[in-house]
A and B are shown apart, each in its own frame.
Chain A
């Protein structure tokens, strides 16, 4: 069994396409992650505001 990773044998064009495809996938996930993080922060802010309004002493 191989002990070390063996570079996959591809033509330069195939390697380039694989690299672009993988990079595109990673970029999509990073974008989703950033949007998700922004949504989480927005949600937390909204809930905190609602809680503070509810805790506000009337008058």
Chain B
């Protein structure tokens, strides 16, 4: 386990003054995009709606909360971010934003996000948002990430909250369908993250983060990816049986899921992760044996986007064709 080093180079010498863009980078904009997309799917799929302007403000509040959690994560992980190629150009390791400023920004943004959510939507959505920020910043980042190879299994729940929050925004409550959407992302996170960790294991090892390939080895990681994929793909079809998903969703879940399983099987059969990570060359260059892991990682993002896009198409664009399940 690594001990966080709170006084890093960022606290002493500032490489260049921070611009407002550096604070935007603190919020992990690409993650915010995925959060907004899945939350929108949860909101659109819910059997209720609120004033669209209020809904837009609520989704903005959720994005702000996700960004705040990202800032808190970057503040706490400044020391290990400095030791990883993938993250060493972030604002805090670069010395542009101090650790204290990143913490302050994250805390203030978290408070504003939860307040906005409570005012525009309801207290259930605001409470879920507050908990998800706490879960990501404290339970995952401070508690699990440096201590256990199961960090991403449990910590992945943080990324699974957005569709549930979107659902709660619309209905004021959480239902079985909202929990199913939560579970889809929860089960998706381990194979997605471990596929990346397989060909970036050297980076994580350098930083002392006990990701699965570092702690248990690549062979065990490839097996775990396959196991989680075998659970995820059938479960992803669950919305069809509750009536939440129709024919379009069903086709995406079955077709997309089959490809997911194929790629996961290829990873299992491969030697991905055996050669460590590609330290030379481009940041995401992979060695020949790691190609299967890279393919699965890239496809996993498209797979999740496909599932939630299908929900948006069915419930938001009128493409729903009932398969006779559900109420």
Q: Are A8 and B16 in touch, CB under 8 angstroms?
A: yes
Q: Are B53 and A47 in touch, CB under 8 angstroms?
A: yes
Q: Are B20 and A26 in touch, CB under 8 angstroms?
A: yes
What's the tally of chain B residues with a CB closer than 8 Å to chain A? 26
Tier of interface size on chain A: 20 to 34
* A-B contacts at CB below 8 angstroms, number: 54
Q: Distance in Å from the Cβ of A39 to the closest Cβ of chain B? A: 10
Q: Are A25 and B19 in touch, CB under 8 angstroms?
A: yes
Within 8 Å CB of B54, what residues of A? 44, 47
Q: Which residue of A lies closest to B51 (CB)?
A: A47
Q: 0/1 per residue, B113-143, Cβ < 8 Å to A?
A: 0001001100000000000000000000000
Within 8 Å CB of B18, what residues of A? 22, 26
Q: 0/1 per residue, B90-109, Cβ < 8 Å to A?
A: 00011100000000000000
Known: A29-B20, A37-B112, A44-B119. A7 touches B15 (CB 8 A): yes
Q: Is the interface of A mostly helix, strand, loop or mixed?
A: helix
Q: Are B95 and A5 in touch, CB under 8 angstroms?
A: yes
Known: A26-B20, A41-B119, A47-B51. A5 touches B57 (CB 8 A): no
Q: Are A4 and B9 in touch, CB under 8 angstroms?
A: yes
CA distance A4 to B95 in the complex (A): 9
Known: A40-B116, A43-B53. A5 touches B17 (CB 8 A): no
- Centre residue among B9, B13, B17, B23 by max chain A CB count within 10 A: B17
Identify the B interface with A (CB < 8 A): 9-10, 13-20, 23, 51, 53-54, 57, 60, 82-83, 88, 93-95, 112, 116, 119-120
